[in-house]
Chain A
């Protein structure tokens, strides 16, 4: 059972960067009915999303967020010994993006740097990896860069995913200090690998001419095999089967009950779904911050983006906080930590 306990490792600072271009869901009338648009806005909870320009990658958004974080907190770059980049929209198939970011940020060649290829669970997994390194004597600070440009892999004629996904890049600094206890709970279920998937373009199904052929599904959504697809009902089944249970188990592992939890910050998947988890848990909805209305689902970046946009000037009680991510893989995980001393930068635009 992947339960990890840490003492006095924590998040020193978080920053986030979004593209300046806003796409409003109310403007998707060219391929969605007014009723579909209203469902997306009212039930899924998304009014607008940020869309990266053609030449802007996840790593670019993360780079800006990292520079903001380092500058705001007067961080000596030589104190960063590890850089972890989490994304499913990396710069290249090869090489990994993390070394590029190490060089671009001017970090030492003695920095360990690698990518983690996970989607919506990626922030929690990335944090757990960063904590594991930060726990080591040879590591001072870990820079965790988590970003996604889902807009580049979603079909523009997909009524499910176009109104759902936005782009963002984030930076999180992890170090040793008086952060108290943290507990992680991590899970995987590859039997659900097809629930959220881009079928072609890897080495199982290499790109062919057929990969680029548009296909219409039973709901009238059009996409090719190099674009993201999701079985929404299967995601919902997965979420309601696993998420509330994981949160309850994590609290039990930490010896807390739900009433002692200050905040529950979900991956911003879909407000209908996460509100349902909150109701099922009988947790106070006022303690579940959302950034989804203005930024949509930004995959692995959504939890740190929510911390930046929602916790900068609100939610002062943040000693017992759960961050919970779930998505493609299937992969899910939660962490209980203390964000009291976490410094949050103002959101920046690219």
Chain B
């Protein structure tokens, strides 16, 4: 599991935020486009790409893209 691929997959879920904005340190909840719907889109991406069903708590606990990457990685 590669962090750069994960960042790309993460960024792909956003319509209006430029992909160049995203790094491992991005605090995604602070992005203007962030919404509860995007949380579902991220969960769907994680299930599709990594076959991991993130829990609601895991989604809530993650603050950065790196946090979420680490959580997903811990399930693999």
Contacts and interface: CB of A to CB of B under 8 A. Distances in A.
Interface of A: 35-36, 39, 43-44, 160, 219, 231-234, 236-237, 240-241, 272-273, 276, 279-280
Interface of B: 35-37, 39-41, 43-44, 47-48, 53-56, 59-60
A237 B55 CA distance: 6
Contacts of B40: 232-233, 236, 272-273
Contacts of B39: 232-233
A280 B44 CA distance: 10
A231 to B, nearest CB: 6
A70 to B, nearest CB: 42
Contact of B59 (A233, A272, A273): A233
Given A240-B47, A279-B48, A232 B55 contact: no
A185 B44 CA distance: 25
B56 A234 contact: yes
A237 B35 CA distance: 17
Contacts of A240: 43-44, 47, 53
Given A231-B56, A237-B55, A237-B56, A219 B36 contact: yes
B56 A280 contact: no
Nearest to B40: A236
B60 A280 contact: no
Contacts of A241: 53
Chain A CB within 10 Å, residue with most, of B36, B37, B48: B37
Contacts of A231: 56
A273 B37 CA distance: 11
A35 B15 CA distance: 12
Task: Pick the 3 closest A-B CB pairs, nearest first.
Answer: A233-B56, A234-B56, A241-B53
Contacts of A234: 55-56
Contacts of A44: 37
A237 B43 contact: yes
A279 B35 CA distance: 23
B44 A233 contact: no
